[in-house]
Structure 1
Amino acid sequence: MKTLRDFPYNKVLVLGLAKSGEAAAQLLYDSDVPFIINDQQPFDQNEKAQYFNRLGVETVTGHHPLEVLEGVDLVVKNPGIPHHHNIIQEAEKLNVPIVTEVELAYEMIDGPLIAITGTNGKTTTTTLIYELLKEAGQEPLLAGNIGQVASEVVRKQKDQQPVVMELSSFQLKAIQNFKPDVSVLLNITEAHLDYHKSREDYVSSKLNIIKRQTNEDLVVYNGDDSTVTEQLDDRAVQKMAFTINHFSRRGASFDGQSIYFNNEWVINCENVVLPGMHNLENVLASVAVAKHFSVKNEVIQTVLSRFIGVKHRLQFVENKKGRLFYNDSKATNILATTKALQSFNRPIVLIVGGLDRGNDFDELFKQFSHVRSCVAYGEASEKIKQAAERHQFDGLCVVDNLEHATQKAYEQSIEGDIILLSPACASWDQFKSFEDRGDMFIEVVHKL
């Protein structure tokens, strides 16, 4: 397996031992790079810290003393740790670089790197690009925010094997030299304000994906997103747009019936099984990347005619007495839920709620043309209720948890309805992750 070579740092602090921290620590250990671990979980409950401690690695657990920075010339932090954390603040004062583990992964990559980000659609697009390259026989690797820790995955990379990597704003905020050969900018809207504290910081973090790119690299971008297009005007990088709003002779576009690339017909949209106009954007972005890597139309047609999406993203669960249940647990912000609502043209019973991310829910209620009723739960439920009152929506019911919300939605539905879990909130008030939340929903639906 690959290790770090000619690594320019003498002592590293691994801050946080979640999946990415564990992978970073193992890589540093295997690469003979001196490092120290600092993790919030107490040592007697921390199996990962105990493991590295047995290997002779210094571990500090249960608290975050500033002394862990002594002699450190690089901090590798868990992406979820905010930049106002006391260790991060002190490291910045000391001019110690702060990165996430994707920076370590980048140091080992030998071959094409395709990196995807955006407020919504990252996982679907990343997975679809992976499937297209795989079907074309290019043996890609799948890594990043999609659940496969990048610094672990790329250790197995063969020479010139493509790496397809999903990246969040949390990961991108802390990079130094990271530079993809192909970047994909799907969209940028207001999100994660509890972490970034301002829209400007969030946008800046997303744009870090193209920060180091040159005119030898390519950015595939959403030509319909004004925030994205404005930021690309003066960037010295090759640009390829995708658009669903008008037909274009360059890049990937849609004429109302078919997908084209550089004025060449690729596929009729009737044969694309992935639902929703927002998913059409993801498809166009994926087609643009595939064509850049010389994937034939026949291969694209084969994949798009069978690719139904990813778990927790508008995932069909079950037809129960004429009610169609969909799991969209990955919709952790209002825009994602808005796009989910726009994917259906029949009555919807919507389940929303979870951890309040600092958003105003007024925009959500403006999209309720097909929503028959709505069930809210969790920390954000009171704020959702207040927005419903402002918009004079009287079909809202508030319950305490997702299980009760699912049962209540079923009770309120009639035959022909869509029952949609699309929370518009993070999961962390009651769940470890959006995956746990979606799995709970699926389990409850099957038991109804």
Structure 2
Amino acid sequence: MRRRALVLGTGRSGRAAARLLVSQGWQVVLADEDDRVDGVRLQRELGDGTEVCTGCHDLPSGPFELAVISPGFKRSHRWLEGLQRRRTPLVGELELGWRHIRGPVIAVTGSNGKSTAVQWIAAALREAGRSPRIAGNFEQGPALCEGVLTSPWADPWVIEVSSFQLEHSHRLRAEAALILDIHPNHLDRHGTVDEYVRIKLRLAQAVVPGGVLVVPESLRQRVRALYGGKTVSFGSDSEPAEFIFSNGMVVCRSGEEAVSLAGTQWDDAVRGRGAAGVIALLSEMGVGCREAV
């Protein structure tokens, strides 16, 4: 008998999770409360192995051996509470895809600039002769489940990770991670700034021993309680960070040549700090400062 899985949400992430599970022999129920979703069309799109339920008020009846959560579902959603009462194993779409990755991973989170950062990182690594692939929250790329269904291999995966995805992820693995500056955001979802920051910093726990974590200098002490390996910090010239943005330049305090950001979208006080973070990470990946821009 085929194993049965429930996927919550018919958006990009939910559809990708359903396709991945069906490819592995699961029987999938794809459920959404939104009655505006064309369930008949979606059923045709996904084909055999998937049952689509849209406009659902009640949690679909089981039993299910697994439930996959799309990022749009809050932890307090009544369906999740119902599944917990049933003791159904829960996993976020991002983590489901992550389980099938082959090859190293660079993960990126933060409040702003994540998509631009993952594009920059992938482009610089491609120039250096590697074969990166972008996935995750990045809107111009595939959800991670869709990406690994195409092929699980990349060198490396460069994955954009949102707070909504981190909220439902518990067992991620990355050889390197970049946490960009964190500003108050999505408080309607997370409730408080401290909870939002706490969820973002969970990415630090994904970095493997021997990996590297790049963080804002202001968060460096806090993340050391989460990750005991190598950390590299970025910031402004008033901070004791290894990589700083100052007067349109990214400067590495170890003595490597400064890099000008003049004429680029990163040449301002806010985005320049993010550029310092990206260059710090690429430096750890073996891409020199001048080659990074």
Q: TM-score range by the shorter chain?
A: 0.7 to 0.9
- 1:182 aligned to which of 162, 176, 179: 176
1:313-324 correspondence to structure 2 within 5 Å: none
- 1:27 aligned to which of 4, 16, 20: 20
Residue-by-residue CA offset, 1:385-435 (whole Å, 9 max, x unaligned): xxxxxxxxxxxxxxxxxxxxxxxxxxxxxxxxxxxxxxxxxxxxxxxxxxx
Q: Percent identity?
A: 26
- Helix, strand or coil: the match of 1:274? coil
1:153-168 correspondence to structure 2 within 5 Å: 153-157=147-151, 159-168=153-162
Measured after TM superposition, the shift of residue 76 of structure 1 is: 1.1
Check the 8 A contact 2:181/2:274 in 1, yes or no.
Answer: no
Partner in structure 2 of residue 134 of structure 1 = 126
Counterpart code for 1:280: G
Query: Against the structure 1 CA distance between its residues 257 and 83, is the aligned structure 2 distance closer, same or farther, given a 3 Å change threshold?
Result: closer
- Helix, strand or coil: the match of 2:97? helix
Query: Against the structure 1 CA distance between its residues 56 and 104, is the aligned structure 2 distance closer, same or farther, given a 3 Å change threshold?
Result: closer
Partner in structure 1 of residue 77 of structure 2 = 85
Query: Against the structure 1 CA distance between its residues 257 and 195, is the aligned structure 2 distance closer, same or farther, given a 3 Å change threshold?
Result: closer
Partner in structure 1 of residue 58 of structure 2 = 65
Partner in structure 2 of residue 16 of structure 1 = 9
Partner in structure 1 of residue 95 of structure 2 = 103
Check the 8 A contact 2:8/2:68 in 1, yes or no.
Answer: yes
Query: Against the structure 1 CA distance between its residues 176 and 11, is the aligned structure 2 distance closer, same or farther, given a 3 Å change threshold?
Result: farther
Residue-by-residue CA offset, 1:198-233 (whole Å, 9 max, x unaligned): 33332222122122334322111011x3xx234213
- 1:36 aligned to which of 26, 29, 33: 29
State the distance in 2 between where 1:279 and 1:265 align. 20
- 2:213 aligned to which of 215, 219, 240: 219
Measured after TM superposition, the shift of residue 264 of structure 1 is: 0.8
- Helix, strand or coil: the match of 1:12? strand
- 1:116 aligned to which of 108, 115, 120: 108
1:222-371 correspondence to structure 2 within 5 Å: 222-223=216-217, 225=218, 228-234=219-225, 235-246=227-238, 251-254=242-245, 256=247, 258-261=249-252, 262-270=254-262, 272=264, 274-300=266-292, 304=293
State the distance in 1 between where 2:91 and 2:270 align. 32
Residue-by-residue CA offset, 1:98-149 (whole Å, 9 max, x unaligned): 3321112211211111111111221222222122112222121111111121
- Helix, strand or coil: the match of 1:265? coil
1:364-443 correspondence to structure 2 within 5 Å: none
Residue-by-residue CA offset, 1:258-293 (whole Å, 9 max, x unaligned): 323332114234365533211111211111121111
Measured after TM superposition, the shift of residue 245 of structure 1 is: 2.7
User: Is 1:143 aligned with 2:163?
Assistant: no
State the distance in 2 between where 1:163 and 1:104 align. 15
Counterpart code for 1:136: A
| Unmatched runs of 5 consecutive residues or more in structure 2 | none
State the distance in 1 between where 2:75 and 2:45 align. 25
State the distance in 1 between where 2:180 and 2:40 align. 38
Measured after TM superposition, the shift of residue 30 of structure 1 is: 0.9
Query: Against the structure 1 CA distance between its residues 275 and 48, is the aligned structure 2 distance closer, same or farther, given a 3 Å change threshold?
Result: farther
State the distance in 2 between where 1:43 and 1:277 align. 43
Check the 8 A contact 2:27/2:49 in 1, yes or no.
Answer: no
Structure number, greater radius of gyration: 1
State the distance in 2 between where 1:154 and 1:81 align. 23
Check the 8 A contact 2:248/2:268 in 1, yes or no.
Answer: no
Residue-by-residue CA offset, 1:217-258 (whole Å, 9 max, x unaligned): 2111011x3xx234213232321111223475x732245463
Check the 8 A contact 1:141/1:157 in 2, yes or no.
Answer: no
For normalisation by structure 1, the TM-score amounts to 0.59
| Unmatched runs of 5 consecutive residues or more in structure 1 | 1-8, 305-448
Partner in structure 2 of residue 75 of structure 1 = 67
Higher relative contact order (CA 8 A, sep 6+): 2
How many residues of Structure 1 are paired with residues of Structure 2 in the alignment? 288
Measured after TM superposition, the shift of residue 67 of structure 1 is: 4.0
For normalisation by structure 2, the TM-score amounts to 0.87
State the distance in 2 between where 1:267 and 1:100 align. 39
Partner in structure 2 of residue 382 of structure 1 = none
- Helix, strand or coil: the match of 2:106? strand
State the distance in 1 between where 2:158 and 2:150 align. 14
Partner in structure 2 of residue 169 of structure 1 = 163
Measured after TM superposition, the shift of residue 31 of structure 1 is: 1.2
State the distance in 2 between where 1:270 and 1:192 align. 32
State the distance in 2 between where 1:67 and 1:278 align. 46
- 1:210 aligned to which of 204, 212, 218: 204
RMSD over equivalenced CA pairs, Å? 2.6
State the distance in 2 between where 1:53 and 1:247 align. 52
State the distance in 1 between where 2:83 and 2:171 align. 18
Partner in structure 2 of residue 195 of structure 1 = 189
- Helix, strand or coil: the match of 2:171? coil
State the distance in 1 between where 2:117 and 2:16 align. 25
